[in-house]
Structure 1
Amino acid sequence: MELKQSSLTLTHEQRCHVCHELRHRIKSMVGISTDVTIVNCGSIPRSEGKACRVFDLRKVAANG
Structure 2
Amino acid sequence: MRVELKESGLALSHEQRCQICHQLRHRIKSMVGISTDITIVNCGSIPRSEGKACRVFDLRKAVVSG
TM-score, normalised via structure 2 length: 0.62
Gaps of 5+ in 2: 57-66
Count of residue pairs brought into register by the alignment? 54
Distance 1:31 1:42, change over 3 A: same
1:40 Cα deviation after fit? 1.4
Identity of matched residues, %: 66
Structure (1/2) with the larger strand percentage: 2
Structure (1/2) with the larger helix percentage: 1
Q: Cα RMSD between the aligned structures?
A: 2.7
1:2 Cα deviation after fit? 6.9
Greater gyration radius: 1
Give a deviation string over 1:3-42, Cα, whole Å, max 9, x none.
4321121100000000010000000000001111101122
Between 1 and 2, higher relative CO (CA 8 Å, sep ≥ 6) is seen in 2
TM-score, normalised via structure 1 length: 0.64
